[in-house]
Amino acid sequence: MTLAKAASQGLGYPNAAVAPVRGHPGLQSKEVLQQNVRELTLEGVINNLLKMPAAKTVGGEPGARDIVCSGSFEDVNEYFLAHELSDGLPIVPPTVEKVEAFLRYTERQSDDVLGVLLPDNRAATVWSVAVNGVMAGCRPEYMPVLIAAVEAMADHDYGVEHSGNTPGGDNLMVLNGPIIKELEFNYTQGVMRDGFQANTTVGRFWRLYLRNVAGFLPHKNDKATFGNTWRVVVAENEDVAAKIGWPPNCADYGFAAGTNALSVGRYTGGNHISSVSGATPEALLPYIADAVVNQYSWQIMFSVGQGYDTLRPLLLLSPIIAETIAAGGWSKQKFREALFARARMPARRFESILRDWTQKPTWNLKEEHAAGRIPKIFHESDDPERLVPLVWRPEDFQVVITGDLGRNSVYVFAHNGVLGFPVGKEIKLLPDWKSLLGKTAKPA
């Protein structure tokens, strides 16, 4: 009920009538569910249809340059906490002067709208990007990255409206291009660890923007069962990618190598696969493929079911793993093809997950193929033990080279499918970018 009321207000219908549902339908017998609907839900629906809801309006908001709070550092942080504008960590007070410093790194006007974000249906302006960038502890020169991130957030394919859904998946941003080194993003050992200003603060910015502009607040619009903490930005090691002749991650989104770009997808979790050993790609593949399969359960409904062909597994390969695979004569595409052929599960288990565990109406691979909704590879026979892939094609596997140069590890992320589909955006820099960087270089 809290979510329904909050979402209704964000959509501009603050007086929309809602009827309660007792308990969780998925944990009730048919008889109990019918009784609850008759006793409570039906009555609420009828009452709502027979009476006019009370008039109610959505409250106004302060203007972009309005001062909403003044005082000491402690005073400002207390205000932001009390008004649910902070993630619980100290924020940098977004003074007009600090915000305007960020605006010098973009040719966009401060009131330009990058998109409209659900659930609050609020415009994502360049000004609000700078405000939240200041709050997150970003440096002004990160502004082009922040703008590209919000453009990704506003992309319809990404589906920001699902950011507060039950699994509590959180985004991972992957960065490419010369900007990695120019802004000193970490792309080697500890790449997913906080402690590097660029990776850390840009990652924090995303969650603050979801809270303050999109409107995802815990116990209100953010209804994650457990939730995840925001993730730092992962930068690809393009030196290694170029050395072994593999295209960077941004190429999957139509950008040439050397382009400053980022991609964003939402993942429910991940697993570090340690000590992946072997002198050839053929020796490494079984361990990697097994790790990918074991990371997936209900998420396969984004391959067949709720979100046909929207499952995009993500693998982070440490440089030495990628180099070993390439030394065996495998291109990135050949590695994906081999992974596609090996990372499979029995059709019996695939259908069981859909039918018994996620309670989806779609679960029979034979019927799905006969209806023309899925490729033949999912039903090449009626053998329940036949192996079927997790995704529709080899290119659906996202592969990024990053992390410790000397460790033989892989990290596998479980993707949240259509509820956070990966999108890529170019990071656009000003013509005098190099000059601006020189003026704001950190002291040696």
Which pLDDT belongs to residue 101? 97
Handedness of CA 249, 252, 256, 259 (dihedral sign): negative
pLDDT tens digit sequence for 92-101: 999 999 999 9
Which pLDDT belongs to residue 442? 61
| Strand 423-426 with 261-273, pairing | antiparallel
Which pLDDT belongs to residue 204? 98
365 to 10, 149, 312, 346, 361: CA distances (angstroms): 39, 37, 20, 12, 12
Token pair 């709720």 is found at 306
100 to 76, 326, 437: CA distances (angstroms): 19, 47, 16
Which pLDDT belongs to residue 441? 58
pLDDT tens digit sequence for 319-369: 999 999 999 999 999 999 999 999 999 999 999 998 887 766 668 899 999
The model's pTM is: 0.93
Which residues make Cβ contacts (< 8 Å) with residue 112, sequence separation at least 6? Answer: 125, 126
Which pLDDT belongs to residue 337? 98
Residues of the chain with pLDDT under 50: 443-444
- Which residues are registered as beta bridge partners of 269? 414
- Domain boundaries of the chain, sorted by first residue: 2-50, 96-343+390-439
